[in-house]
Structure 1
Amino acid sequence: MAAPTDFTRTVRIVAVSDTHNDIPRPDQIPDGDIFIHAGDMTDDGTYTELKAQYDWIAALPHEVKVVIGGNHDLTLDPFHSKTTRENHFKAKNLFTSIEAQSNGIHYLDTEVRYITLRGGHKEGSKRPITIPIYGNPHQPQWLATDYSFTYKPYPSPESELPWENAPNRTQNVPIWVMHGGPQGRLDQINIPPLQGCVVEAQKIYEARPLLCVYGHFHVAYGVEHVEYEHDKDVVKTATVITKPEDPRYDFSKKSGKALKPGKETIFANVAWMTGLKRQVPERNKPVVIDLELPYDH
């Protein structure tokens, strides 16, 4: 048997966050290889709310579904004041049980998971590919409300702890999923001083993943392309490339726009809710990204 000649594979990622108890219709979620929910599935993180979110996510046809908590998913946070051992176990078990695993769900909580994608959303055989994905639900606590997965904003010792084990560049983790985003990257919001995390931004610039997916800042929905300085962990150029009416972004080899590892990052704020939330019927569309990923990790 001849050795494979392809060193990369195009993977289609479909991402949302901040559904806040909405249950999208199946036709509202495009097909793809990996579905990502970047937190705030619910308003209050009750078992009933989380179960309803689990049900629609589990029913999706995507082979892999990556899920993290958000600041509203209270009982997924074992340290939240409203969390008990019992309700936390029930909540987390929804997304980590054998049933959840059989439905392709991977629940990440401040960790890297090596996830194998075997098939493909398009017809035709594809070699399995194993993709390391980092998930972190934490964000700074700017407001007095008792939210989950929060910490004192930078500068504080607490702001360093949730990110101390974030991947570095040598680990080659191409996809990061967070709830809150990094400071300065699609984190604009009209509630001062609410903003993204300084430490998170530093960790991302040091590691330079291909894709960062998050939400939290509803009004900052969109996609941004960043290039880095060659010899410094700082941004060289940043270009917002948001297409709200057709949020499909092709960075496949076939498109001629494949991202250069260690040199570029796509930041995607994938908030489903707009800034007006349920005051209006409109919702942001799921973001679809075709990403060229290496077989060898």
Structure 2
Amino acid sequence: MASFQSHRKGFLWDLRIGTAQEASIQLEDGLAPITRGLKSKIKYNRNNIARIQLDLKAEADRRPGPWQRFRAQPCIFLAQSLYAWRRYIPAAPLKDPISVVCISDTHNNKVHVPDGDVLIHAGDLTQSGSFKELQQALDWLRSQPHSTKIVIAGNHDLLLDTQYHNIPDQAVSGRAQLDWGDLIYLENEKREILCGNGRRSNVYGSPYSPRHGNWAFQYPRNKDIWIDSIPEGIDILITHSPPSAHLDLLKFGCAHLLNSLWRVQPRLHVFGHIHEGAGIEWIYFDRLQLAYERTVAAGGGMINLMRMAWEFAIAWFSPITEAKCLLVNPSIVGGLRDNERREPVKVII
């Protein structure tokens, strides 16, 4: 690291000299021998700049490998590996199953959406939350053939947050003019939906996520906004924030939301927000899961890891039962530079 810092200082020094030399050369028609030397030095500096920029971009685009993650947090790495190896059986669909198509974090992108009974968008329809972006996203969602389409906002959907004050008055006036059509918009509320096969399901949706920057629908990380808001008897939970320790890169989810997830125990929890956490995960609400979550919350620790290893051994030699809840992070935008596009996730519950 020290050599990189030293190299970086040299790079900045050369860049400053090169800029001054370039300016002087542009002012003179004739080039003295010494000026020609300076011109070649500028070309050398430009090559250095281009090479360093490519090196930095390659470093930013490189995901840390297993060895790097182990060296950074060995106990967390081992706990995550153990938890990934647990045996599970997906929960069997009910006698009247419904297909749910899940998307999130489209950020103005329009992707092919497969057919299904229910379409869920878990927030961040837009990039900057303007009226134009929102209406275009709503028009795209309205054009989908699903009989039930449910939408929540995300932290990028600024116009939808009535408590967000950094919006011009003329833009705020357009909030009521958004055409939602047949879309069901949920903002901290419960709704019963009736599917085409006659099945009824209780759905709760909330756009909130822990504060990170100056965005919409945010709350202090140490505040529990979920304990009194998510009611019992929910079949499908939709939040923009992930719960802590699950599909959240192990550091961006909400611990209070995780506590309410244990309390409510829905069949399906759909969320987004953390693009690199995209995926699905079955959970059991059992002692192994609890030991894993406590290890993550504590930032590791050998004692926590040993307790989790004990619970893992018990679960390994116990009869396998069906999982109780499916977690889905269907973020469409992905990649370390948000330059990847993923497919929607379709599940049967």
What is the TM-score of this pair, normalised by structure 1? 0.71
What amino acid is aligned across from residue 262 of structure 2 in structure 1? Answer: Y
Aligned counterpart in structure 2 of residue 161 of structure 1, from 225, 232, 250: 225
Q: Which runs of 5+ in 1 are unaligned?
A: 1-6, 120-125, 239-258, 292-297
The answer as to whether partners of 1:112 and 1:135 remain within 8 angstroms in 2 is: yes
Aligned to 2:214: 146
Whole-angstrom distance in 2 between the partners of 1:50 and 1:161 = 26
CA 1:35–1:198 in 2, change beyond 3 Å: closer, same or farther? same
TM-superposed deviation, 1:162: 4.9
Aligned counterpart in structure 1 of residue 257 of structure 2, from 188, 195, 200: 200
The answer as to whether partners of 1:227 and 1:235 remain within 8 angstroms in 2 is: no
For 1:42-191, list aligned pairs within 5 A: 42-83=126-167, 87-88=171-172, 90-91=174-175, 94=178, 96=180, 100-101=181-182, 105-117=183-195, 119=196, 126=197, 128-142=198-212, 145-154=213-222, 159-168=223-232, 172-188=233-249
CA 1:22–1:277 in 2, change beyond 3 Å: closer, same or farther? farther
Higher helix share: 2
For 1:279-294, list aligned pairs within 5 A: 280=339, 282-291=340-349
Aligned to 2:107: 20
The answer as to whether partners of 2:283 and 2:289 remain within 8 angstroms in 1 is: no
What amino acid is aligned across from residue 279 of structure 2 in structure 1? Answer: G
Aligned counterpart in structure 2 of residue 266 of structure 1, from 321, 326, 336: 326
For 1:252-263, list aligned pairs within 5 A: none
Q: RMSD value over aligned CA atoms?
A: 2.5
Larger Rg: 2
Higher strand share: 1
Moved over 3 A (4+): 83-93, 232-238
What amino acid is aligned across from residue 215 of structure 2 in structure 1? Answer: Y
Determine helix, strand or coil for the equivalent of 2:284. Answer: strand
The answer as to whether partners of 1:12 and 1:290 remain within 8 angstroms in 2 is: yes
Determine helix, strand or coil for the equivalent of 1:288. Answer: strand
Percent of paired sites with the same residue: 30
* Count of aligned positions: 229
Determine helix, strand or coil for the equivalent of 1:114. Answer: strand
What is the TM-score of this pair, normalised by structure 2? 0.61
